[in-house]
Amino acid sequence: MSPEFLPFTRPSIDEPTIAGVAEVLRSGWITTGPQAKAFEAALSEHCGGRPVRAFVSGTITMEVALRLAGVGPGDEVITTPLSWVATANVVLEVGARPVFVDVDPKTRNIDLSLIETTKNTKAIIPVDLAGLPVDRERLYSIAKAKNLRVIEDAAQAFGASWRGKPIGSFGDLVSFSFHANKNITTAEGGALVLPDEKLVALCEKLRFQGITRTGEDGMDCDVLGGKANLTDIAARIGLGQLPHLKRFTERRRALAKRYFQLWDRSLGCELPVEEFENSNWHMFQVVLPAKFPRARFIAAMREAGIGVGVHYPAMHLFSLYRSLGWREGQFPHAERIGRSIVTLPLFPSMKDEDVGRVCDAARKVLAA
């Protein structure tokens, strides 16, 4: 009998959360309401009391953050080419231009030493790939010296920390994602941490059609907003997830350590940085040997009953970004990693023996 298929990720939703969602459905109030407010309050507590607003995705949070930072047409925003394409798409959405900087080959995060600015540079969007935080001291030192706003793409870093402080509890604008594959989930959703209470009103207007309500029937629209409010159904899932964050993170770290113990180092793969203080181990990613076709590896692992993800191809090589002038050869580290990186199974409900199964299967595939 073949073993059960092992996906690269799977959310852990407990029965009390499922029951809680059912209660919301029965309540008659399923859009944004008391559950969303409670979720925002809980997120704020996690982020050291800073104001937090919940949204329908971790993409719209970055777009709103850029607008709050005053980024628009004619501006440039520095970011990494090794991320989900949303990181750069939101820059285009506000009329600005993304400017890519190559990654550090070890951390796979943006190489801060390569940052150069122009008179048009307005902001930087660092990405904490796989939950490994970008060096926050260096990041904010550069931002201060260059007078840049920082929009932290911490989509993968909820539960991560920097020198003992949770990501989101300090810094400028911080964007989280609660997509189904994240360390905690609302099925779909995100949150934006604000640096100042003064931004809350505009943030809320940008989230909901630019509307301000007054009194019993007063209504005005003074800015162009969108429709990105989180439902109470989604928020209730998030409220059920938050109490498990510490346990989820500890389990992910334990599984990552097991990968390091069992992985065959003779296979010629590049392993991630062994870091267990700051990273939340959102993903365990290896870079395959350059001559081994990634598609072949993915197919062979699927045949063995194991799911493998790709996070991410270098986005400047997508057609949209080529049309804006980016080309192959500009960011060699991101391009090499993007061609060969694979995401192996890692989620809290995995068993220790599942890691051994993945490592054994990978050894057989790569040695074939």
Active site residues: 182
Give the C-alpha separation, 144 to 150, whole Å: 10
Q: In what helix (H) or strand (E) does residue 200 lie, and over which residues does it extend?
A: helix 200-207
Q: Is 251 left (phi over 0), alpha (psi -120 to 50) or beta?
A: alpha
Cα–Cα dist 276/160, whole Å: 10
**For the chain, what is the total number of helices (H) and then of strands (E)?**
12, 13
CA dihedral sign, ordered 238, 242, 244, 250: positive
What helix, strand, coil percent values describe the chain, rounded to 5?
A: 40, 15, 45
- Which of 9, 2, 101, 75 lies closest to 285 in space, CA to CA? 9
293: nearest Cα among 285, 303, 301: 301
Residue 198: φ, ψ to 5°: -65, -20
